[in-house]
Chain A
Amino acid sequence: MKPFLAAFFVLMNLMPAPAPAAEPEGEWHMAARDYGNTRFSPLSEITPANLPKLSLAFTFSTGVLRGHEAAPVVADNTMFIVTPYPNLVYALDLTKPGAPQKWKFDPKPAASSQGVACCDVVNRGVVYADGKVFFNTLDMNTIALDAKTGKELWRTKLGSIEKGETMTMAPIVVKGKVLVGNSGGELGVRGWLTALDAATGKIAWRAWSTGPDKDVLIGPAFKPFYAQDRGKDLGTRSWPGDGWKIGGGTVWGFLTYDPETDLVYYGTGNPGPWNPEQRPGDNKWTSGIFARKPDTGEAVWYYQWSPHDLHDYDGVNENVLVEIPVQGKQRKVILHPDRNGYLYVLDRASGQVLSATPYAAITTSTRVDLQTGRLVYNPEKDPTAGKTVRDICPASSGAKDWQPSSWSPRTKLLYLPMQNICQDAQTFETSYISGTPYVGASIEQYPGPGGHRGEFAAWDPVARKKIWSIRENFPVWSGALATAGDVVFYGTMDGWFKGLDAKSGKLLWQYKAGSGIIGQPVSYRGPDGKQYIAVLAGIGGWAGTIVSGEIDPRDGTGANGMVNLTRDLPKYTAKGGMLYVFALP
């Protein structure tokens, strides 16, 4: 070897490992497709002109009946699907007609984990990286499989279902680390984000959402934008006593990574399991957003969407990376549609709130103060024991829940699947759990202004308004998909899969699936060179558990008040997990 070549290789070895190259444009490696969570497919074969001809290409039954929230993942001419509990993973061979099963993996999760999960036993997807498939099981295992064979490479147990913990989120892989978070905030679970070595499954770091700075991985690098987030051990001092030890702040939403700032962004869940009066203080670091370095987990900034959350507004909704002009200047920002009803525009590097605009009917707060960054609550809608509070908007499920939006860099619009739900915290009724009688608020949710329960809207973050909006009978609990052909897709709980003109919102195509759709649509290029659109049907989730969990529709307070809202859903759809894949003929 010539000396200069050898030197070159030494140099190569010394250089930090590059961020994995963007995947081929025809593939879909993680639930949100890209680190920026845009869910934008660069494929453009399907356009408004030919969309009406879109046809069913093939289907696949998962054999599982609960709510299917996962995104199908496509890599190496193979599609990977994870089902709700029992978390079966299927690999389908896209090179063969009808995409036959290549392999199936059964992780055999503990049956008891089903009774622990709060809101159906969902799973939001696998992630593919470097020939491996990573996913979480409801009973707290992260598992790595060989993508070619389905053979288990490692499994790491990350917590205990006996403590009320579960996992439902879709991991991402950043710089050789698998990032995963936990669920179960209502049950006294303390939230965390954990990084696992993708090669071995060994835990690299864990960042808690509550507790002393050393647990939260807050150190010298931590520079939050607002004064209220600065100070020592706020993760204990913004709680009474030891409340933080069971304080919630679980991490069950989608994760975002920005290679430019080298920061991972994610939201934390609501504080729990206390009644709000029993936890005076901001209850940090719940219902907010962290920016962390993926190598070490160190926190760089944090912002709290809902300080001292009163309404079960988890802060876990997606954070979408875009570049837009703000006051005439092009900025690299995060778009975040929160459960509390505001669409936030944050600076990626500093966490400064550049704007926070209502995108739904809001009665629980009046505005976000851009000087202090604080949400200004409306005290009339505070839940108070012994008092009936009406017209709480948005309801606990938020203006939008977990169901992810999609951003098109072509139309510069954010496509939002939404709810339109308000709730009354009614007169109290006697309840009984684990041998303990108590008087619970009986929450009843109902359609918000206009009388419809769902909406699919195109939001212009520069003009800060809806460009178009479609009313839906049921909450839109599926993800959104935008493509370079300027079409967008979403599914409805009564089983329609819809394709629209991305610019006008005009409905151009729809297909009736066998069960309601709460999954995340994706797009890929098949081995035959054609563009495909794929989505899982299978009703369930919090909003659909009246069907998948067979809840008695006479009890309107079931599923935390959601049953009152969706009690007619069983008339429209039945359960059953099925993959639908579409292409042009």
Chain B
Amino acid sequence: MFSRSRKCMLVALLALAGAAQAEERLLRVCADPDNLPYSNADGAGFENKIAELVAQDLHAKLAYDWWPQRRGFVRRTLGAGMCDVLIGVPADFERVSTTRPYYRSSYVFVTRAGESVPGFADPAIRQRRIGVQLIGNDMAATPAGHALARAGATANVTGFTIFGDGPAAQRMVDEVDGGGIDAALVWGPQAGYFAARAHKPLSVSIARPPAGTPEPFEFSVALGVKRGNKALLAELDGVLERRQRDIDAILAAYHVPRTDAAGEGR
């Protein structure tokens, strides 16, 4: 008698647990705990907001695995099975499978409002004090960095390394704000966010690569999943299709400069 009732309870509990499991789907996202405007551990970045949106659309509970987005990020996150989704990766990133892109941006010049924006074709670019992000991998530079070197702009260029107090993009924009440099060549989402927080009015202008530049200045950004996870990819593509307007609103709130139709049209 006693034993039978225990068994019944167990069966009931298992059923409940199963039901709970079905409802409590987890969307596991790997993100940098300290990399605004993209993400931070407080959920204050636009990729945090997009992760919440995707989780909500999939009726899933959002769970993060935090890892700094440095060398080895993909290997130690998606690669190690710590999560299912990366929120922002270049759309042609070969290390992961990517969804349809949900925004496109560009390298931009951040300058003080009212001052002229440098152009790669103008030899005067060599005299301007310009900041550029340094990647730190052998022979690698940002596309804008390669274009600067080819335009002969080396003597007045300051490099900002990945390591330092705060993101390189923030340090560069602060230097423009404080008058230490004249212009910063920054990837758009970072430029828009930090320029909007500067003391002085700053302008953000799409940097146009000189003719014949082999490296693109523009990149489309998508969600990334482990290579070959087609089921999840299809689900996420569905979410992006349904929620593109909501995503546009999030990106606009973070001043992300866009070079795709959504950015220019809406």
Closest to A118 in B: B71
Q: Which residues of A contact B93 (CB under 8 A)?
A: 430-432
Answer whether A441 and B95 are a contact pair too, CB < 8 Å, given A430-B219, A433-B162: no
The reply on B141 being an interface residue by CB < 8 A is yes
Instruction: Kindly list chain B residues whose C-beta atoms are within 8 Å of the C-beta of A550.
Output: 75, 80
Stretch of B9-17, B108-116, B164-172, B230-238 at the chain-chain interface: B164-172
| Cβ–Cβ < 8 Å partners of A312 in chain B | 138-139
Q: Contact at B159–A188, with CB atoms within 8 Å?
A: yes
Is B43 interfacial (CB-CB < 8 Å)? Answer: no
Q: How far is the CA of A186 from the CA of B70 in the complex (A)?
A: 13
B141 touches A432 (CB 8 A): no
Q: Which residues of B contact A443 (CB under 8 A)?
A: 138-139
What distance in Å separates the Cβ of B213 from its nearest Cβ neighbour in chain A?
8
B185 to chain A, nearest CB (A): 11
Contacts of A280 in B (CB 8 A): 154
B 20-61 contacts with A by CB, 8 A = 32, 35, 38
Pair count A-B, CB < 8 A: 171
What interface size band does chain A fall in?
35 or more
Partner of B137, one of A164, A440, A549: A440
Interface stretch, picked from A9-17, A270-278, A402-410, A483-491, is A270-278
Task: Give Cα A276–Cα B141 distance, bound, in whole angstroms.
Answer: 10
Q: Is the CB of A441 within 8 A of B187?
A: no
| Contact assessment for A241 and B139 in the assembled complex, using a CB-CB cutoff below 8 Å | no
B216 at the interface (CB under 8 A from A): yes
B244 at the interface (CB under 8 A from A): no
Residue of A nearest to B134 (CB): A273
**A584: chain B residues within 8 A (beta carbon):** none
Interface residues of A in 515-552 (CB under 8 A from B): 549-552
Q: Which residues of A contact B167 (CB under 8 A)?
A: 434-435
B134 adjacent to A434 (CB under 8 Å): no
Q: Are B159 and A246 in contact (CB-based, < 8 A)?
A: yes
Interface residue tally on B, bucketed by range: 35 or more
Cβ–Cβ contact B138 & A186, under 8 A: yes
A151 at interface by CB-CB < 8 Å? no
A552 touches B79 (CB 8 A): yes
Chain B residues 76-94 with CB under 8 Å of chain A are: 79-80, 88-90, 92-94
Q: Which residues A69-123 have CB closer than 8 A to chain B?
A: 115-116, 118
Within B126-141, the residues touching A (CB, 8 Å) are: 132-141
Tell me the bound Cα distance from A274 to B140 in angstroms: 8
Closest chain A residue, CB of each to CB of B36: A435
Question: Hey, which chain B residues are within 8 Å of A187, CB to CB?
Answer: 136, 161-163
The answer, yes or no, to whether A243 is at the interface (CB within 8 Å) is yes
Does B69 belong to the interface (CB within 8 Å)? yes
Q: Are A436 and B149 in contact (CB under 8 A)?
A: no
A115 in contact with B143 given A275-B149, A434-B168, A436-B169 (CB within 8 Å): no
Q: For the complex, what is the distance from the CA of A429 to the CA of B89, rounded to whole Å?
A: 13
Specify which of B80, B161, B219 lies most central, judged by the most chain A CB atoms within 10 Å of its CB: B161
- A residues less than 8 Å from B163 (CB atoms): 116, 162-164, 187-188
A186 partner residues in chain B, CB cutoff 8 A? 136-138
Q: Is B257 an interface residue (CB 8 A)?
A: no
**Contact yes or no, B161 A277, CB < 8 A:** no
In whole angstroms, how far apart are the Cα atoms of A543 and B167 in the complex?
Answer: 31
**Interface check A323, CB cutoff 8 A:** no
A274 in contact with B137 (CB, 8 Å): no
**What are the residues of chain A within 8 A of B134 when measuring CB–CB?**
188, 246, 273-274
Contacting residue for A432 out of B89, B143, B157, B215, CB 8 A: B89
Contact B149 A435 (CB under 8 A): no
Shortest Cβ distance from A573 into chain B, in angstroms?
20
Q: Which of B69, B141, B189 contacts A274 (CB 8 A)?
A: B141
Complex CA distance for A60 and B120, rounded to whole angstroms: 61
**Interface contact A433-B164, CB-CB below 8 Å:** no
Instruction: Check A436 against B159 for contact (C-beta < 8 Å).
Output: no
A167 CB → nearest B CB, Å:
15
| Interface flag for B158 (CB, 8 Å) | yes
Q: List 6 A-B contacts (CB under 8 A).
A: A115-B71, A163-B161, A241-B155, A243-B154, A272-B136, A273-B134
Given contacts A273-B161, A432-B90, 7 further A-B contacts (CB under 8 A): A240-B155, A243-B159, A273-B136, A385-B146, A434-B32, A441-B138, A550-B80
Give me the interface of A with B, judged by CB distance under 8 Å: 115-116, 118, 162-164, 186-188, 240-243, 246, 272-280, 312, 383, 385-386, 396, 425, 428-441, 443, 549-552, 555, 558, 560
Q: Which 8 A-B pairs have the closest CB atoms?
A: A188-B161, A386-B214, A277-B149, A164-B163, A240-B154, A275-B141, A440-B140, A278-B149
